[in-house]
Amino acid sequence: MKTIRLRKGRERSVLKGHPWVFSGAVEGGEAAAGELVEVCDSKGEKIALGWYSPASQIRVRIVPDAPIADLIAEAVGRRAAFYADDAVTAIRLVNAENDLIPGVVADCYAGHVVCQFTSAGADARKEEIADALMKFAPFCQGVSERCDVDSRAKEGLATEPAFRVLRGAEPPELVEIAENGVKFLVDVRRGHKTGFYLDQRDARATVGRLANGADVLNCFCYSGGFGLFARACGAASVTQVDISADALALAKKNEALQHYCGTAMEYVEADVFQFLRKCRDEGRKFDFIVLDPPKFAATKGQLMKAARGYKDINLLAMKLLKPYGTLASFSCSGAMDAEFFRTVLAEAAEDAHRPFQIVAHTHAGADHPVRLSFPEGEYLKGVVLRSIT
Protein backbone atom coordinates (compact mmCIF):
# COMPACT_ATOMS: atom_id res chain seq x y z
CA MET A 1 0.00 0.00 0.00
CA LYS A 2 1.34 3.43 -0.96
CA THR A 3 2.04 6.06 1.69
CA ILE A 4 1.07 9.73 1.88
CA ARG A 5 3.21 11.67 4.34
CA LEU A 6 1.89 14.83 6.01
CA ARG A 7 3.74 17.98 6.91
CA LYS A 8 4.67 18.48 10.54
CA GLY A 9 1.65 19.46 12.63
CA ARG A 10 -0.87 18.73 9.87
CA GLU A 11 -1.84 15.38 11.34
CA ARG A 12 -3.84 17.02 14.14
CA SER A 13 -7.13 17.33 12.27
CA VAL A 14 -6.90 13.70 11.14
CA LEU A 15 -6.26 12.53 14.69
CA LYS A 16 -9.31 14.54 15.81
CA GLY A 17 -11.47 12.68 13.32
CA HIS A 18 -11.75 15.15 10.45
CA PRO A 19 -12.12 13.18 7.19
CA TRP A 20 -10.27 15.51 4.79
CA VAL A 21 -6.57 15.96 4.05
CA PHE A 22 -5.95 18.97 1.82
CA SER A 23 -3.18 19.15 -0.75
CA GLY A 24 -1.28 21.76 1.26
CA ALA A 25 -0.96 19.32 4.16
CA VAL A 26 0.83 16.70 2.06
CA GLU A 27 4.63 16.55 2.26
CA GLY A 28 5.13 13.64 -0.11
CA GLY A 29 3.74 10.53 -1.76
CA GLU A 30 1.49 9.85 -4.71
CA ALA A 31 -1.07 7.26 -5.78
CA ALA A 32 -3.63 6.60 -8.48
CA ALA A 33 -7.06 8.21 -8.38
CA GLY A 34 -9.25 6.40 -5.86
CA GLU A 35 -6.44 4.21 -4.54
CA LEU A 36 -6.45 3.24 -0.87
CA VAL A 37 -3.37 4.72 0.84
CA GLU A 38 -1.78 4.89 4.26
CA VAL A 39 -1.66 8.37 5.74
CA CYS A 40 1.43 8.95 7.89
CA ASP A 41 2.58 11.82 10.05
CA SER A 42 5.84 13.66 9.38
CA LYS A 43 7.75 10.96 11.27
CA GLY A 44 6.37 8.25 9.01
CA GLU A 45 4.01 6.73 11.58
CA LYS A 46 0.69 5.50 10.16
CA ILE A 47 -2.30 7.43 11.49
CA ALA A 48 -5.13 6.57 9.06
CA LEU A 49 -6.26 5.08 5.76
CA GLY A 50 -7.77 7.11 2.95
CA TRP A 51 -8.83 7.34 -0.68
CA TYR A 52 -6.42 9.36 -2.82
CA SER A 53 -7.63 12.07 -5.23
CA PRO A 54 -4.74 13.57 -7.27
CA ALA A 55 -6.98 16.07 -9.10
CA SER A 56 -8.69 17.45 -6.00
CA GLN A 57 -7.73 20.03 -3.40
CA ILE A 58 -8.99 17.42 -0.94
CA ARG A 59 -6.10 15.09 -1.64
CA VAL A 60 -7.10 12.27 0.72
CA ARG A 61 -10.46 11.32 2.23
CA ILE A 62 -10.12 9.29 5.39
CA VAL A 63 -11.96 5.95 5.53
CA PRO A 64 -12.27 3.20 8.16
CA ASP A 65 -10.30 -0.01 7.84
CA ALA A 66 -13.41 -1.99 6.88
CA PRO A 67 -14.99 -3.52 3.75
CA ILE A 68 -17.14 -1.04 1.83
CA ALA A 69 -20.08 -3.46 1.95
CA ASP A 70 -19.95 -3.45 5.75
CA LEU A 71 -19.99 0.35 5.81
CA ILE A 72 -23.03 0.44 3.51
CA ALA A 73 -24.82 -2.15 5.63
CA GLU A 74 -24.17 -0.15 8.77
CA ALA A 75 -25.33 3.13 7.22
CA VAL A 76 -28.54 1.54 5.95
CA GLY A 77 -29.09 -0.17 9.29
CA ARG A 78 -28.92 3.14 11.13
CA ARG A 79 -32.04 4.22 9.21
CA ALA A 80 -34.11 1.23 10.36
CA ALA A 81 -36.66 3.45 12.13
CA PHE A 82 -37.58 5.09 8.83
CA TYR A 83 -38.55 1.78 7.24
CA ALA A 84 -41.13 1.22 9.97
CA ASP A 85 -42.84 4.51 9.08
CA ASP A 86 -45.22 4.10 6.14
CA ALA A 87 -45.81 7.86 6.14
CA VAL A 88 -42.34 8.43 4.65
CA THR A 89 -41.30 6.52 1.51
CA ALA A 90 -38.20 8.51 0.58
CA ILE A 91 -35.07 8.70 2.75
CA ARG A 92 -31.33 9.18 2.57
CA LEU A 93 -29.52 5.86 3.04
CA VAL A 94 -25.91 7.07 2.93
CA ASN A 95 -24.77 10.58 3.83
CA ALA A 96 -21.17 10.62 2.59
CA GLU A 97 -18.47 11.56 5.12
CA ASN A 98 -21.06 11.69 7.88
CA ASP A 99 -21.58 7.93 7.41
CA LEU A 100 -17.82 7.29 7.04
CA ILE A 101 -18.11 6.76 3.26
CA PRO A 102 -16.65 9.90 1.65
CA GLY A 103 -18.32 11.14 -1.49
CA VAL A 104 -21.18 8.62 -1.46
CA VAL A 105 -24.76 9.88 -1.33
CA ALA A 106 -27.56 7.36 -1.74
CA ASP A 107 -31.22 8.41 -1.65
CA CYS A 108 -34.09 5.94 -1.80
CA TYR A 109 -37.34 6.96 -3.51
CA ALA A 110 -40.04 4.32 -2.99
CA GLY A 111 -37.53 1.53 -3.52
CA HIS A 112 -35.48 3.21 -6.26
CA VAL A 113 -32.03 4.16 -4.96
CA VAL A 114 -30.25 7.07 -6.67
CA CYS A 115 -26.56 7.67 -5.94
CA GLN A 116 -24.00 10.39 -6.42
CA PHE A 117 -20.31 9.48 -6.29
CA THR A 118 -18.36 12.70 -5.77
CA SER A 119 -14.91 11.45 -4.76
CA ALA A 120 -12.39 9.46 -6.77
CA GLY A 121 -12.47 6.70 -4.16
CA ALA A 122 -16.24 6.43 -4.25
CA ASP A 123 -16.31 6.43 -8.05
CA ALA A 124 -13.74 3.62 -8.18
CA ARG A 125 -15.98 1.50 -5.93
CA LYS A 126 -19.40 2.32 -7.37
CA GLU A 127 -20.08 -1.22 -8.59
CA GLU A 128 -19.31 -2.69 -5.17
CA ILE A 129 -21.44 0.01 -3.52
CA ALA A 130 -24.35 -0.72 -5.87
CA ASP A 131 -24.13 -4.42 -5.04
CA ALA A 132 -24.19 -3.64 -1.31
CA LEU A 133 -27.20 -1.34 -1.65
CA MET A 134 -29.12 -4.01 -3.57
CA LYS A 135 -28.30 -6.47 -0.80
CA PHE A 136 -28.86 -4.36 2.31
CA ALA A 137 -31.42 -1.65 1.44
CA PRO A 138 -34.91 -2.99 2.24
CA PHE A 139 -37.39 -2.96 -0.67
CA CYS A 140 -34.62 -1.90 -3.09
CA GLN A 141 -35.76 -2.42 -6.69
CA GLY A 142 -32.75 -0.89 -8.37
CA VAL A 143 -29.72 1.37 -8.02
CA SER A 144 -29.00 4.26 -10.38
CA GLU A 145 -26.31 6.93 -10.63
CA ARG A 146 -26.49 10.69 -11.21
CA CYS A 147 -23.22 12.00 -12.69
CA ASP A 148 -24.33 15.57 -13.43
CA VAL A 149 -22.93 17.09 -10.24
CA ASP A 150 -20.32 19.87 -10.35
CA SER A 151 -18.11 18.38 -7.64
CA ARG A 152 -17.29 15.40 -9.86
CA ALA A 153 -15.44 17.69 -12.26
CA LYS A 154 -13.26 18.93 -9.38
CA GLU A 155 -12.24 15.31 -8.82
CA GLY A 156 -11.41 14.82 -12.48
CA LEU A 157 -14.40 12.49 -12.86
CA ALA A 158 -16.70 12.15 -15.87
CA THR A 159 -20.05 13.94 -15.75
CA GLU A 160 -21.58 11.94 -18.62
CA PRO A 161 -23.79 10.06 -18.97
CA ALA A 162 -25.89 12.18 -16.65
CA PHE A 163 -27.94 9.20 -15.50
CA ARG A 164 -27.54 5.45 -15.73
CA VAL A 165 -28.85 2.33 -14.04
CA LEU A 166 -26.21 0.37 -12.14
CA ARG A 167 -28.30 -2.52 -10.83
CA GLY A 168 -31.85 -3.80 -10.96
CA ALA A 169 -34.92 -2.06 -12.34
CA GLU A 170 -34.93 1.24 -14.16
CA PRO A 171 -37.04 3.82 -12.29
CA PRO A 172 -40.13 5.30 -13.92
CA GLU A 173 -39.96 8.74 -15.48
CA LEU A 174 -41.44 10.18 -12.28
CA VAL A 175 -41.30 8.26 -9.00
CA GLU A 176 -44.20 8.86 -6.62
CA ILE A 177 -43.27 9.23 -2.94
CA ALA A 178 -45.19 10.01 0.24
CA GLU A 179 -44.09 12.37 2.99
CA ASN A 180 -46.29 12.70 6.05
CA GLY A 181 -49.56 12.83 4.17
CA VAL A 182 -48.32 14.77 1.13
CA LYS A 183 -47.48 13.07 -2.18
CA PHE A 184 -44.75 14.12 -4.60
CA LEU A 185 -43.50 13.09 -8.02
CA VAL A 186 -39.70 12.94 -8.17
CA ASP A 187 -37.70 13.36 -11.37
CA VAL A 188 -34.67 11.24 -10.49
CA ARG A 189 -33.03 11.79 -13.90
CA ARG A 190 -33.11 15.57 -14.22
CA GLY A 191 -34.35 16.96 -10.89
CA HIS A 192 -32.28 18.90 -8.40
CA LYS A 193 -29.76 16.88 -6.35
CA THR A 194 -30.89 13.26 -6.73
CA GLY A 195 -34.39 14.46 -7.58
CA PHE A 196 -35.81 15.96 -4.38
CA TYR A 197 -34.79 17.96 -1.30
CA LEU A 198 -35.05 15.16 1.23
CA ASP A 199 -33.03 17.24 3.69
CA GLN A 200 -35.92 19.70 4.11
CA ARG A 201 -38.46 17.12 5.34
CA ASP A 202 -38.58 18.41 8.92
CA ALA A 203 -38.64 22.03 7.77
CA ARG A 204 -41.61 21.36 5.48
CA ALA A 205 -43.51 19.92 8.42
CA THR A 206 -42.64 22.96 10.56
CA VAL A 207 -43.81 25.38 7.87
CA GLY A 208 -47.04 23.45 7.45
CA ARG A 209 -47.87 23.58 11.15
CA LEU A 210 -47.49 27.36 11.18
CA ALA A 211 -49.27 28.14 7.90
CA ASN A 212 -52.90 27.47 8.81
CA GLY A 213 -55.13 30.27 7.51
CA ALA A 214 -52.18 32.20 6.04
CA ASP A 215 -51.56 33.76 2.65
CA VAL A 216 -48.26 32.03 1.83
CA LEU A 217 -45.51 33.00 -0.61
CA ASN A 218 -43.14 30.12 -1.40
CA CYS A 219 -40.01 31.41 -3.12
CA PHE A 220 -37.62 29.17 -5.08
CA CYS A 221 -40.43 26.62 -4.84
CA TYR A 222 -38.90 23.93 -7.13
CA SER A 223 -41.48 21.11 -7.11
CA GLY A 224 -43.69 22.91 -4.58
CA GLY A 225 -42.73 21.21 -1.31
CA PHE A 226 -43.21 23.98 1.24
CA GLY A 227 -46.26 25.33 -0.53
CA LEU A 228 -47.98 21.96 -0.66
CA PHE A 229 -47.37 21.36 3.04
CA ALA A 230 -48.82 24.79 3.77
CA ARG A 231 -51.81 23.87 1.60
CA ALA A 232 -52.24 20.53 3.38
CA CYS A 233 -52.29 22.31 6.73
CA GLY A 234 -54.99 24.81 5.78
CA ALA A 235 -53.27 27.82 4.22
CA ALA A 236 -55.75 30.29 2.75
CA SER A 237 -53.66 30.78 -0.38
CA VAL A 238 -50.26 29.72 -1.71
CA THR A 239 -48.19 31.49 -4.34
CA GLN A 240 -45.40 29.30 -5.75
CA VAL A 241 -42.53 31.18 -7.43
CA ASP A 242 -39.62 29.74 -9.39
CA ILE A 243 -37.57 30.82 -12.38
CA SER A 244 -37.85 27.35 -13.94
CA ALA A 245 -40.91 26.52 -16.03
CA ASP A 246 -40.09 22.82 -15.69
CA ALA A 247 -40.04 23.09 -11.89
CA LEU A 248 -43.42 24.84 -11.86
CA ALA A 249 -44.88 22.22 -14.21
CA LEU A 250 -43.79 19.50 -11.77
CA ALA A 251 -45.19 21.52 -8.83
CA LYS A 252 -48.57 21.64 -10.59
CA LYS A 253 -48.48 17.87 -11.11
CA ASN A 254 -47.73 17.46 -7.42
CA GLU A 255 -50.70 19.65 -6.52
CA ALA A 256 -52.92 17.39 -8.62
CA LEU A 257 -51.90 14.39 -6.48
CA GLN A 258 -53.36 15.90 -3.30
CA HIS A 259 -56.89 15.85 -1.97
CA TYR A 260 -58.88 18.96 -2.84
CA CYS A 261 -58.93 21.36 0.11
CA GLY A 262 -60.01 24.73 -1.30
CA THR A 263 -56.68 26.56 -0.93
CA ALA A 264 -56.17 29.11 -3.71
CA MET A 265 -52.99 28.18 -5.65
CA GLU A 266 -50.98 30.49 -7.90
CA TYR A 267 -47.84 29.68 -9.91
CA VAL A 268 -45.45 32.40 -11.03
CA GLU A 269 -42.46 31.92 -13.34
CA ALA A 270 -40.08 34.69 -12.33
CA ASP A 271 -36.73 35.63 -10.87
CA VAL A 272 -37.44 35.74 -7.13
CA PHE A 273 -35.51 38.97 -6.49
CA GLN A 274 -37.46 40.72 -9.26
CA PHE A 275 -40.77 39.25 -8.10
CA LEU A 276 -40.24 40.45 -4.53
CA ARG A 277 -39.45 43.96 -5.78
CA LYS A 278 -42.59 43.86 -7.95
CA CYS A 279 -44.68 42.90 -4.91
CA ARG A 280 -43.08 45.74 -2.95
CA ASP A 281 -43.87 48.25 -5.68
CA GLU A 282 -47.47 46.99 -5.93
CA GLY A 283 -47.98 46.99 -2.16
CA ARG A 284 -48.71 43.27 -2.07
CA LYS A 285 -48.34 41.62 1.36
CA PHE A 286 -48.26 38.07 2.73
CA ASP A 287 -48.79 36.41 6.10
CA PHE A 288 -46.05 33.84 5.57
CA ILE A 289 -43.01 33.88 3.27
CA VAL A 290 -40.63 30.97 2.62
CA LEU A 291 -37.15 31.67 1.25
CA ASP A 292 -35.25 28.53 0.24
CA PRO A 293 -32.70 29.79 -2.29
CA PRO A 294 -29.97 27.79 -4.01
CA LYS A 295 -26.45 27.84 -2.62
CA PHE A 296 -25.08 31.42 -2.65
CA ALA A 297 -21.57 30.51 -1.39
CA ALA A 298 -19.72 27.37 -2.44
CA THR A 299 -16.44 28.48 -0.83
CA LYS A 300 -15.25 30.73 2.00
CA GLY A 301 -14.02 33.18 -0.63
CA GLN A 302 -17.59 33.74 -1.80
CA LEU A 303 -18.98 34.19 1.70
CA MET A 304 -19.20 37.98 1.95
CA LYS A 305 -20.81 38.31 -1.48
CA ALA A 306 -23.26 35.61 -0.48
CA ALA A 307 -24.01 37.40 2.78
CA ARG A 308 -25.05 40.49 0.83
CA GLY A 309 -27.35 38.35 -1.30
CA TYR A 310 -28.94 36.70 1.74
CA LYS A 311 -29.41 40.06 3.42
CA ASP A 312 -30.98 41.67 0.35
CA ILE A 313 -33.50 38.91 -0.25
CA ASN A 314 -34.49 38.61 3.42
CA LEU A 315 -34.83 42.38 3.71
CA LEU A 316 -37.20 42.39 0.73
CA ALA A 317 -39.24 39.56 2.25
CA MET A 318 -39.44 41.19 5.68
CA LYS A 319 -40.90 44.31 4.14
CA LEU A 320 -43.59 42.26 2.40
CA LEU A 321 -44.89 40.64 5.58
CA LYS A 322 -48.23 41.66 7.03
CA PRO A 323 -48.30 42.61 10.73
CA TYR A 324 -47.26 39.64 12.85
CA GLY A 325 -46.22 37.79 9.71
CA THR A 326 -43.84 34.82 9.59
CA LEU A 327 -40.66 34.32 7.56
CA ALA A 328 -39.01 30.91 7.13
CA SER A 329 -35.53 31.53 5.77
CA PHE A 330 -32.99 28.89 4.78
CA SER A 331 -29.37 28.64 3.68
CA CYS A 332 -27.73 25.56 2.15
CA SER A 333 -24.35 27.31 1.81
CA GLY A 334 -21.92 25.19 3.78
CA ALA A 335 -19.45 28.07 3.94
CA MET A 336 -21.97 30.08 6.01
CA ASP A 337 -22.40 28.74 9.52
CA ALA A 338 -25.60 29.07 11.54
CA GLU A 339 -24.30 31.93 13.71
CA PHE A 340 -23.31 34.04 10.71
CA PHE A 341 -26.65 33.33 9.04
CA ARG A 342 -28.48 34.58 12.12
CA THR A 343 -26.31 37.71 12.07
CA VAL A 344 -27.30 38.36 8.46
CA LEU A 345 -30.99 37.95 9.34
CA ALA A 346 -30.60 40.30 12.30
CA GLU A 347 -29.05 42.96 10.07
CA ALA A 348 -31.86 42.57 7.55
CA ALA A 349 -34.46 42.96 10.31
CA GLU A 350 -32.71 46.09 11.56
CA ASP A 351 -32.81 47.64 8.09
CA ALA A 352 -36.46 46.61 7.70
CA HIS A 353 -37.23 48.44 10.98
CA ARG A 354 -39.21 45.46 12.27
CA PRO A 355 -38.66 43.40 15.42
CA PHE A 356 -38.70 39.63 15.01
CA GLN A 357 -38.62 36.68 17.36
CA ILE A 358 -37.20 33.27 16.50
CA VAL A 359 -39.90 30.61 16.76
CA ALA A 360 -37.96 27.65 15.32
CA HIS A 361 -34.59 26.48 14.05
CA THR A 362 -34.57 23.75 11.43
CA HIS A 363 -31.86 21.39 10.19
CA ALA A 364 -31.60 18.38 7.94
CA GLY A 365 -33.50 15.37 9.26
CA ALA A 366 -32.27 12.35 11.18
CA ASP A 367 -31.49 10.48 7.95
CA HIS A 368 -28.96 13.28 7.22
CA PRO A 369 -26.76 12.96 10.34
CA VAL A 370 -23.80 15.27 10.86
CA ARG A 371 -20.56 13.80 12.11
CA LEU A 372 -19.41 15.64 15.23
CA SER A 373 -15.82 15.96 13.97
CA PHE A 374 -16.98 17.20 10.55
CA PRO A 375 -18.75 20.56 10.93
CA GLU A 376 -18.74 21.02 7.14
CA GLY A 377 -21.41 18.34 7.06
CA GLU A 378 -23.91 20.74 8.65
CA TYR A 379 -24.56 22.74 5.50
CA LEU A 380 -28.32 23.29 5.89
CA LYS A 381 -29.76 25.70 8.40
CA GLY A 382 -33.15 27.35 8.71
CA VAL A 383 -34.64 30.03 10.95
CA VAL A 384 -38.36 30.70 11.33
CA LEU A 385 -39.02 34.29 12.39
CA ARG A 386 -42.25 35.97 13.47
CA SER A 387 -42.73 39.71 13.36
CA ILE A 388 -43.94 41.09 16.68
CA THR A 389 -45.39 44.24 15.13
At 183-209, the pLDDT tens digits run: 999 999 999 999 999 999 999 999 999
Give the C-alpha separation, 378 to 335, whole Å: 10
Question: Helix or strand or coil: residue 176?
Answer: strand
How confident is the model over 269-273, as a mean pLDDT?
97
* pLDDT over 70, % of the chain: 100
User: For 333-357, how does the pLDDT look when each residue is reduced to its tens digit (9 = 90+)?
Assistant: 888 899 999 999 999 999 999 999 9
pLDDT confidence of 212, banded at 50, 70, 90? very high
pLDDT band at 297; cut points 50, 70, 90: confident
Residue 302: what pLDDT? 83
**Looking at 53-141, which runs of residues are DSSP E strands?**
58-63, 90-95, 104-109, 112-117
pLDDT over 90 at 360, yes or no: yes
Q: Do 56 and 156 form a contact (C-beta atoms < 8 A)?
A: yes
Catalytic residue among 40, 115, 140, 332: 332
Q: Quick one: average pLDDT of 212-218?
A: 98
Q: What percent of the chain has pLDDT over 90?
A: 93
Burial 347-361 (b: 16+ CB within 10 A, else e): ebbeebebebeeebe
Write down the pLDDT at residue 299.
Answer: 78
Residue 60 has pLDDT above 90, yes or no: yes
Categorize the per-residue pLDDT at 313 as very low, low, confident or very high, splitting at 50, 70 and 90.
Answer: very high
pLDDT at 82: 87
Rounded to whole angstroms, the Cα distance separating 220 from 269 reads 10
Q: Please say if 332 is a catalytic residue.
A: yes
Cα 240 to Cα 52, 156, 367: the distances in Å are: 44, 38, 27
Q: Which residues pair with 108 in a beta bridge?
A: 91, 113
Average pLDDT over residues 353-373: 97
Where does the pLDDT of residue 291 fall: very low under 50, low under 70, confident under 90, or very high at 90 and above?
very high
Determine the pLDDT at residue 255: 97
